[in-house]
Every structure is written in structure tokens, then in C-alpha cells.
Amino acid sequence: MNKRFLLLLIALGVPLAGARPSLAEEGAPEASPAGPLDALPIQVETLENGLTVVMSPDRTVPTVAIAVYYDVGSRNEVRGRSGFAHLFEHMMFQGSANVGKGEHFQYVMNRGGNMNGTTSHDRTNYFETLPSNELALGLWLEADRMRSLAITQENFENQRQVVMEERRQSYSNRPYMESMLRINELAFGDYFPYAHSTIGDMADLENAPLTAVQEFFNQYYPPNNAVLSIAGDIDPTETMALVRKYFGSIEKRTVPGFDPDP
């Protein structure tokens, strides 16, 4: 290598092939720069009834996102009672002690918000986004159905038919969907919690009695089996006061355990 060119490379700090790193370079690697989520403000509280509350204030825009995650999914179902977790994704909008059928949607949408729910093998969640000055409304709606969901024969029959039609449209009427369900069954074999689909079996839904539906709610929808998350334009102290007001008197109940081992 040309001597003058070599000196130029050294002056510019260009590493040379075969050059050994200095002792400082051989030390521990530098910590990676903090990511955007590392500084995310998060505050966690737990009520006496076991409800876990996670808050993350963000005053960027005057909105608030509320979500309730219940630690129940299709994995918690037993043979002959499949589809119950997903059924409740529908039942939870059928009214409660102080909210009529369909009024949950009306309350939220009339204030410019939106809402929905989803079901997986491991959890069921319900959520709404509202203007931040409607935080109390969102918490009241969630607390009322956690406390006093209207599980009536009429509501059950109505939503049972809705879910069965959903299964026909989304699975039975779509090419390859039944084969996808079969692949899942083959993958998990006799391990029922994950071998069956969240939508449930048609025969199980047709034969399910109302008492079994009520029992499922009583077992898996108490406050001590839920996480309430609130993010957006909130004051944590004021928010916790509202949470205690609406959720604090809901009684905790014994929740069946789940053993993940086959």
C-alpha cells in the first residue's frame, strides 16, 4: 500500500484490515439508544376487588381510549361448550342493568366515538375511543356491563343465531377455511384448548343452555380477571377517582385456573 495513502487513511480514522481493536473497543458494547416507547408514561394501580388499571396520559389530542381485557378466550372452553368466549363478544353489547339493548353503541357513537370487541384463544377485549370529556361515560358503560350484563334467553337466542350465521359466512361459505380449521386441529391434536376455533362448533352453539352461558360469565367476567387500560388526554388522579367510583363496588369472584400443559 502506498505509504502516503496509508497515512491518509490513518488520519481519517479508517480501520485497517487485520488491525486489532483497542482495549476500550473490546469492552462492553454501548447501550442502544432509547426507543420511542421507553419514555412512555405508564401508571399501574390495582383496586381491592382485583381489577388491574393501566393508565398512560397523552395530552396530544383531546381523546381517550378505554379498553377492558378479560383473561378468558377459547382456551378456557370445555368440550361441548365451544364458542362461548366469542359469543360474549356479542352478548356484551346486548344491554345491562342501566343500559338498554344497543344503547352502548348509541351512547358512544352519538358522542363521536367508536367501539368494538375481539376474541382470541387467550383473551377477550372490549374498547372504545371517545372525546376526553366523555371519559366518565366510557367507564360507566364498561362497569355496568361487567356488573350486570343482561343474560336473558331472548338476548342469548338472538346472538346465538348471529354467531352461527357468522360461522356460515366466514368459514363454511369461504374456500379453504374449513381446511384451515382442520390444519389447526391436526397441529394441536388432542389438546382441545388450542385445537378448536374461537368461532365454536355449530352443534355446541345449538345445544348450549342459558344456564351454561350465565355460568361462563360468572366465572370469567369478574373484576379480578380483567385489566382496564386508559390512555390519552387524562389526569391519572382524577381518572382513578372515576375508576373507583364505577368499578370499586363490583365484587371479586373465584376464577377457574388454566393449566397450559397438555
Backbone φ, ψ for residue 69 (5° rounding):
-105, 120
- The mean pLDDT of 148-175, rounded to a whole number, is 89
Q: For residue 169, name the pLDDT band (cuts at 50, 70, 90).
A: confident
Cell matching residue 50: 382485583
DSSP state of 57: E
Instruction: With a cut of 60, say whether residue 49 has pLDDT above it.
Output: yes
What secondary structure does DSSP assign to 215-256, as a single string?
A: HHHHHH-SGGGEEEEEEES--HHHHHHHHHHHHTTSPP----
List, for residues 177-229, the tens digit of each pLDDT value: 778 888 888 888 889 999 999 988 989 999 999 999 999 999 999 999 999 99
What secondary structure does DSSP assign to 102-117, as a single string?
A: THHHHHHHTTT-EEEE
List, for residues 105-140, the tens digit of each pLDDT value: 999 999 999 999 999 999 999 999 999 999 999 999
Instruction: With a cut of 80, say whether residue 70 has pLDDT above it.
Output: yes
| pLDDT, averaged across the chain | 88
Instruction: With a cut of 60, say whether residue 10 has pLDDT above it.
Output: no
pTM for the whole structure: 0.83
User: Is 89 a residue of the active site?
Assistant: yes
Write down the catalytic residue from 26, 77, 89, 238: 89
Query: How would you class 242 by CB atoms within 10 Å of its CB: exposed for 0-12, middle for 13-18, buried for 19 or more?
Result: middle
Full set of structural domains in the chain with CATH: 41-247 (3.30.830.10)
Cell matching residue 163: 354467531
Q: Collapse the DSSP code of 78 into the 3-class scheme (helix H, G, I; strand E, B; otherwise coil) and give the result.
A: coil
